[in-house]
Amino acid sequence: MSTKEKLILPTMGCGTWAWGNRLLWGYDESMDSQLQEVFNLCVSNGVTLFDTGDSYGTGKLNGQSEKLLGKFEREYSGVNKNNICLATKLAAYPWRLTPKSMVAAGKASAQRMGRVDLAQMHWSTANYFPWQEWQLLDGLADLYEQGLVKGVGLSNYGTQRLKKVYQKFSDRNIPITTLQVQYSLLSTYPVTDLGIKETCDELGIKLIAYSPLCLGILTGKYTDKSTYPKGLRGLLFKRLVPEARSLLNCLRAIAQYRNKTMSQVAINWCIAKGAIPIPGAKNIKQAQENIAAKNWQLDAGEVAELDRAAGAIDKPMVQNIFQTR
């Protein structure tokens, strides 16, 4: 694969969080055909960026999410086939300590998926083992130089760390294509506090927003305690949903006025902010709803309303523990 090939990124992608998390909690092959339909529908409607990670699926199911994504791509033969971008995130496991280990990880992902278009560092180890991070970043750069991937990206990096890594890659004449952060109306910290969007714009990096619906809270379906998920996530919802009440009311009002769903408004807000949202979709209904979030745009007044409602929340979504400054 030549690194001179252009990496095509749409205005919206599809994250495989739903597939990955499902694989962690029990794999059910009966869903494969349904997920293939989801993939087909997305691509045929211009959603061609698909993001996963080599850590999605453990034990006997190690790498299963990547295997499924590769299978779906191979079996698709419709429009936009040539525009599909297969992205994966390579984990900074404690046993990956050298550039060669990162190259090996990228090759393993490519074997499972058929190819890797965009290889990303899943998280930074700067906060607990900075020496390891530089070794793995060298390996990520090697993947690009060896023509094994079309582009490289990062995930969960803040402005200060991003600039250091950018300089390191610039010294090797390697562009950083993308940066993923947890970004939604309930998680504006990377942009409002760290200024990551301005930095990305300055450095020519595309910002990807993962979890743009904040675990589904921004869909509006969690109306009371009886609807909350079980376990630790349920505890988070008990705090976050009441805290977000005014924001959810604002979302609902704009959605009704626009004849859209709350999910579509929340995703469109990300697009209006210049980010590429990657909402998960594990069935046709969710995919259809996500797809309908593009090809229209909130006006400036609506975006400002949502910004005010989001800014008024005292305790928004907790940040990823690996997010750097």
Label the pairing between strands 13-15 and 49-53.
Answer: parallel
Residue 26 in tokens: 């029990």
The catalytic residue among 27, 56, 210, 222 is 56
Q: In angstroms, rounded to a whole number, what is the distance separating the alpha carbons of residues 279 and 212? A: 6
* Residue appearing with tokens 């977000």: 244
Rounded-to-integer distance, Cα 113 and Cα 41, Å? 19
**How open is the CA angle 84-119-110, to the nearest 5 degrees?**
75
User: Is 144 noted as a catalytic residue in this protein?
Assistant: no
DSSP conformation letters of 84-101: -EEEEEE---TT--SHHH
User: Across-strand partners of 281?
Assistant: none
**DSSP assignment letter at 280:** B
For the record, the structure tokens of 257 come out as 């006025």
Residues marked active site are found at: 56
